Amino acid sequence: MSHFPNHFEENYLKALYKLQRKEIKKVNNIALAKYMELNPATVLEMVRKMADRGLVEILPDKTIQLTSQGEKKALLVIRKHRLWEVFLVEKLDYSWSEVHDLAEQLEHIQSEDLTNRLEAFLEFPAADPHGDPIPDKNGKLRTAAAINLLEGKTGKTYMVKSFGETADSFLDYLAKLSIRPGTLLRVLEWNAYDNSGSIEINNAIIQLSEKVAGNIFVQLHTT
Amino acid sequence: MSHFPNHFEENYLKALYKLQRKEIKKVNNIALAKYMELNPATVLEMVRKMADRGLVEILPDKTIQLTSQGEKKALLVIRKHRLWEVFLVEKLDYSWSEVHDLAEQLEHIQSEDLTNRLEAFLEFPAADPHGDPIPDKNGKLRTAAAINLLEGKTGKTYMVKSFGETADSFLDYLAKLSIRPGTLLRVLEWNAYDNSGSIEINNAIIQLSEKVAGNIFVQLHTT
DNA sequence: ATATATAATTTGGCTAACCAAATTTTATTA
DNA sequence: TAATAAAATTTGGTTAGCCAAATTATATAT
Ligand SMILES: [Mn+2]
Ligand SMILES: [Mn+2]
Ligand SMILES: [Mn+2]
Ligand SMILES: [Mn+2]
């Protein structure tokens, strides 16, 4: 009987969740192994165990996918991680750049009740010190309210959520720029003269007028 | 490379420290194994490793003894354990009877700095919720001030430390009752009528007058 | 001093999480 | 399509912490 089954499992779950969220590519065994800095044989073995436990599904094309149960568990680990980070910064005066490794230890403490009390003690923070949202006790990540792209901060990446205008001419223009819900936009600069923005999209740089940017609603995107 | 070397080692250290403190008997392999609910072969193996690491000494008569280094480490684990217990009770509103098992997990978090910040955050508590003193950052256990036996609480066990009277008649009387420094006394009841106490000593029950009890100084004894 | 109980130690084995080095698929690309 | 690259899988092996069952050594009691 192993002593720390959860510790390992939780790290695999988190890794899988992180990789999956990038949705750039399907997550395969090699990618997971690389990300976790482990040997592919090791990872394959563990992934199979987790499949038996119903946490993961191995699709016909060998893609590794979290089941809804697995995803929930992953989010509950992330919840713990982020709550502890808040604790470290808010209560123990750590700076936000120091807390990740400590949270990596604390996230494995096993007690739902403790986690919930910690959350209450911290007065239900919405996000961790890095701005990442904290899943609720059911593992639900309530999506942050979308903001106007004009409010986007220089250097940050945002995901397009919706638009504030339905005119065909507007939508056609967006289509021409390949902007649609889900598109990632990085704010490079706001130009003071006309409030237009320099935006990076798919490695290209485009200019958006104030009027256009003001009708694009986005959310902060964290890698 | 094992992932949790400290976790195991710390539990052995703590067990050894606890057993050693009873000082009833020398700690041998069997006793340690029984206390930890492990097989003697397992314990012997580990104890030898810890001897190599300089944490433990195996005396010629096979007694297992913490080295000063080992004792310090044990006390630092106990420090973490008790600080986390204070945190759980003071900040997360747990009752003192619920916190031990959680602290058993939290005591293994590795970060001296975190421990020290936690201590500061809790405003340097002298004792944990069960009244046990908290070692300082050097693993030094400052002995709690002795209290008058009259202040002893019903049900608690105290160790005799010193006396407030040197008259021969007093000391002779104590001798007759087998009370000397180191003796354990359990307060069963304080009798309101004459402030005398019913005290358990070596499985016998004796009565101590207010005058006698008032000249016995004790300290809380924790098993 | 001998029998007997207790403690210490050895031996052989288990499991979980890991790795390196094949080998076998499965994709890509020419 | 044949050659090649990449991914998946298998095989054999390691280590730490654990156990059961022998064996050997040391006490204890008669
Ligand atoms: Mn983090
Ligand atoms: Mn972790
Ligand atoms: Mn405790
Ligand atoms: Mn412990």
A164 to A106, A128, A170, A189: CA distances (angstroms): 42, 29, 10, 22
Question: Within 7 Å: CB of B123 and strand D?
Answer: no
Give B-chain residues touching A118 at CB under 8 angstroms. 92
**CA A46/CA A40 separation, integer angstroms:** 10
B93 to A96, A110, A120, A134, B80: CA distances (angstroms): 26, 18, 11, 22, 18
CA atoms within 13 A on the CB side of A44: 6
Which of B102, B110, B111 comes nearest A114 by C-beta? B102
**CA A142/CA A139 separation, integer angstroms:** 9
The per-residue pLDDT for A23 is 63
Which bases in strand D are touched by protein, i.e. have an atom under 7 Å from a CB? 6-12, 15-21, 27
Q: How far is the CA of B10 from the centre of ligand 4 (A)?
A: 7
The DSSP result for B48-75, as a single string, is: HHHHHTTSEEE-TT--EEE-HHHHHHHH
Residues of A with CB under 8 A from a CB of B: 3-4, 7, 88, 91-94, 102, 105-106, 109-111, 114, 117-118, 121
**CA B108/CA B106 separation, integer angstroms:** 5
Question: Within 7 Å: CB of B121 and strand D?
Answer: no
Question: Within 7 Å: CB of B9 and strand D?
Answer: yes
Ligand nearest to the CA of residue A84, numbered in listed order: 1
Which bases in strand C are touched by protein, i.e. have an atom under 7 Å from a CB? 6-12, 15-21, 27
Which of B92, B114, B117 comes nearest A118 by C-beta? B92
Give the pTM. Answer: 0.76
**CA B210/CA B219 separation, integer angstroms:** 18
Residues with CB under 5 A from ligand 1 (ion): A 100
pLDDT tens across B174-218, in order?
989 999 878 899 999 999 899 999 999 999 999 999 999 999 989
Pairing of strands A196-201, A64-66: unpaired
pLDDT tens across A123-155, in order?
999 989 887 899 999 999 987 678 899 999 999
**CA B33/CA B38 separation, integer angstroms:** 5
Please give the residue that has the higher pLDDT: either A1 or B78.
B78
The per-residue pLDDT for B1 is 45
Share of chain A above pLDDT 70, in %: 97
**CA B78/CA B62 separation, integer angstroms:** 26
Residue A79 pLDDT grade (very low, low, confident, very high; cuts 50, 70, 90)? very high
pLDDT tens across A170-186, in order?
888 998 999 987 889 99
Question: Within 7 Å: CB of B42 and strand D?
Answer: yes
The per-residue pLDDT for A1 is 46
**CA B206/CA B197 separation, integer angstroms:** 8
**CA B38/CA B30 separation, integer angstroms:** 9
Query: Is A105's CB within 8 Å of B110's CB?
Result: yes
Checking each nucleotide's C1' against the CA of A4, the nearest proves to be: C16
**Across residues B102-115, what is the average pLDDT?**
98
pLDDT tens across B1-59, in order?
457 879 999 999 999 999 998 766 789 999 999 999 999 999 999 999 999 999 999 99
pLDDT tens across B113-155, in order?
999 999 999 999 998 988 788 999 999 998 767 889 999 999 9
pLDDT tens across A101-128, in order?
999 999 999 999 999 999 999 999 998 9
**Across residues B73-83, what is the average pLDDT?**
98
**Across residues B155-173, what is the average pLDDT?**
84
The per-residue pLDDT for A34 is 97
Is residue A2 predicted with pLDDT exceeding 60?
no
